[in-house]
Structures are given as C-alpha cells and as structure tokens.
Copies of this chain bind each other. A is one copy, B any other.
Amino acid sequence: MTDDIARKLKAAAARLFTQHGYTATRVADIVANAGVAQGTFYLHFENKPSLFVALIDEFFAGLIEETIARHPAKRLQTGEHLSAEVEEIWMTIIRYGRKHDILTRLVLREAHALRPEQRAHINRHFEQGADALARYLEDAQQLGLVKNLPARLIAWLLVGMIERAMHYAVFVAPNAPSVSLAGHCTEFELLGLLEPSAARTGGES
C-alpha cells in the first residue's frame, strides 16, 4: 500500500522531470499526477531532490546488475569470447536504456539540475561505472586480449560511448534494431574505425 504510493510518486516524477525538466517540475505537480495529497509526498521522500536521487539510484542499480555484474572478465579466454561478451553487454545496455527510456532521459539529461551535494552523489555512480570498466579492462589486458592502453582513460571513454549510445538508441534512432546497434558499437570498440586496407598503408605504424 505504502510502497504503492512511493511507486506512483516515482513514476509521476520520472514522467514530469523528463517532460518539463527537474527544476520546472513542482512537488505539487508530482502529487497531482500521482493522485495523492501534497503532504503525503513527505511521508515517502525527504524532499524533492531525494526523490530524484532515488530514481537515479534505481537506474544505476539495475544497469550495473544486468551488465558488468554478470560478466566477470576472468572467465574470458579468447578474443572471440571477448568479442561475444562485449556485444552482449552492448545489447543489454541498449535494451535497458530503451526499456527504461524515461529514466534514461532523466539520467542523461536531468542529472545536472541538482545542487552540488546531490550531484556529487550521482557523479559517484559514473565513477563507479568507470572503475568497474577499468577493472574489466585490466583483467582482459592481463589475459592478453586487450591492448595496453591506460585503463582508466579508456574506461572513461567507454562511459562516454555508453552514454551517447543510449542517447542514440533512445532519442536519435529509437527504431534501429538493437542487434545491429550492439554489433556496430562492438566493432567500433574492439577494432576501431580505420579501414584495415588503409591501415596497412598507414596505420599507427
């Protein structure tokens, strides 16, 4: 019952934040949309930012659980394994973003409307994501599957790719098949852009 109200509030908030922006959405709008009284809001959330943070936390918890958490790099053995796994992860990410498109919008576009205190909390999610990716890369490097580029830098580049891949999959080309998106992302990530024939005549030496 109680949980039901919290859920309704979160759903309404996610919708409104996405539509009108975090700042422009008033608590009054949220409760009106959720069909409860103004005061009820404060029985379930400390205040407006804390509801936002709860939404963001949920998004990241789900994303982490469905991706990195399920794919420890240690088990990898060949480049083929890696390739398949990376593609699977890209697929999961894209599907996750599309399934939770409102939350995705929220994380990608609204997360910065908060005050520094809460923003720090959110940035920590990104840092944790980067950390997890860096660890994954280091493991794969030790297995000789991945080049010896600085793992933390690459991890952050991957974070950026993921953000924009989700952006693309949700906003730019919402109808592009997930499979092909995941395939392209994988190829770009693992093999780069350079046409092999061109590389032969003049790659990174």
**B191–A83 touching, CB < 8 Å:** no
Instruction: Give the contact stretch, choosing among A33-41, A61-69, A139-147.
Output: A139-147
Q: How large is the interface on A (under 10, 10 to 19, 20 to 34, 35 or more residues)?
A: 35 or more
CA distance A101 to B24 in the complex (A): 28
A167 CB–B CB distance under 8 Å: yes
- Determine how many copies of this chain the complex contains: 4
**A161–B157 touching, CB < 8 Å:** yes
Residues from chain B with Cβ under 8 Å of A163 in the complex: 160, 163-164
CA distance A198 to B137 in the complex (A): 14
CB contact under 8 A between A187 and B204, given known A21-B115, A172-B152, A181-B153: yes
Residue of B nearest to A81 (CB): B202
CA distance A5 to B159 in the complex (A): 39
Residues of A within 8 A of B (CB): 20-21, 23-24, 78-83, 109-116, 119, 137, 144-147, 149-150, 152-154, 156-157, 159-165, 167-168, 172-173, 176, 181, 184-195, 197-204
CB contact under 8 A between A192 and B191, given known A150-B184, A153-B184, A160-B162: yes
